Every structure is written in C-alpha cells, then in structure tokens.
Amino acid sequence: MGNLQLLKKRSIGFCGSRKASERGLETAEDCSAQAAESDVVVVSGNAAGVDLHAHLEALKNGGETILVLPEGINSFSIRKPFRDYWDWSRVLVVSQFEPDVPWRSYNAMARNKIILGLSCAMIVIEAGDRGGTLDAGKSTLEANTPLFVARYSNAGEQARGNEILIGMGGVPLNRLKSTNRANMDKVWAAFTDPNCARVQPKLI
C-alpha cells in the first residue's frame, strides 16, 4: 500500500531494539532526519522502538519511508504517533506474507531480510548479544551490503551486540563533536560504491 515509486529511490535500512535506550532512540531519530534531508528513503520494520522512531522522524522532516511488516498486510493500521504526519505519497507499506498471516517472532526475523534487500546500506542502532538485530547485522555483512553500527561510550546491555558487529566488519557510526550529530559522511559515500548498488525491483 502506498507509493511504489519509493522502490526506485536510494534507501537506507534501520534495525534496532524494541526496547532501545533514550540514547539509541535519539540516534535513530538523528540518522533518519539526516536521511530525509538527503532525499534518502528510510526502510524499517514498523515495530516499536527504533523502527517507529526512524519512520516517524523521516515523515516529520518531509522525507519518505518504507514500512516492512512482520505480518500480513490486512493487519496494518496507522499508529497514533504517525497520524499528524502520514502522507501516502511519501509512504510505502509492504509485506512478504499472505494478507491474513498473524505476527510471529520467526516472521519478524524473516522480515529483516526484506529490509536488507530494499536497502542500499544498513544502520544498526542497538543490537543485543543475541536476537533479531544482531542477526540482521550479520546478514547485512554476509550480503556484502554496507553496515554501519552506532558506537557509544559506556554502551548499555541493549547495545552489547554493536561491538560484536563492528568486530565482524561493521563500520562504526560516531557522533561529530562539531555538530553533535551522527557522522553520516561514510554512509552517503557508500552509496557511490558499485558493490552497494542493489537490483531495482520491477514495478507491476
């Protein structure tokens, strides 16, 4: 449902915990706002926490977003926080599942592969030392898609997986002292790398 033309644009995926810290949510909002400012589509999974904040911040800043559902599309409804900013010309809602399939944890894991497939690069905000976000980061590296991982000093328990992913080859995403915002320069540079180019879906 929504604007299929978003599939033709540059896009960046967001993954992170449903129970992310305030610091993590602020980082997701900052990165998503910068994506909107750079005319890059935000792709995420429509869950609470990082997903919700990434989608919402894109819309608040006049950007575009793709919501990838972990259930059938007939279950979709517009969440209350979105209602003042929702614009179907700037939104696409997609699901890989039959329309009436209910939410299940393994569907959420499978959904992450679609987020990856629709993204030119992936940002992990907070990954635990096990679970779906860590798995999404590993899948990104296995697919040779650029992976950027938020790096915090004194990271909490919910971000223990961040250093694991950086150790496996994820690029640290640090905050610039001069702007107090995430340094997205390497992220945008990755979009010019031929290895980052994804196959454009055929619109029917």
- pTM equals 0.92
Could you read off the pLDDT of 24-56 as tens digits, one per residue?
Answer: 999 999 999 999 999 999 999 999 999 999 999
Q: What is the pLDDT of residues 7-23, one digit of tens each?
A: 989 999 999 988 889 99
Is residue 201 situated within a structural domain? no
For position 33, which CATH number holds? 3.40.50.450
- pLDDT on residue 199: 47
Domain count, the chain: 1
Residue located via tokens 């987020």: 115
Residue 153 has pLDDT above 90, yes or no: no
Residue 176 lies in a domain: yes
Kindly state whether residue 28 falls inside one of the protein's structural domains: yes
Distance CA 175, CA 23 (A): 12
- Find the helix or strand (DSSP H, E) in which 11 lies: strand 11-15
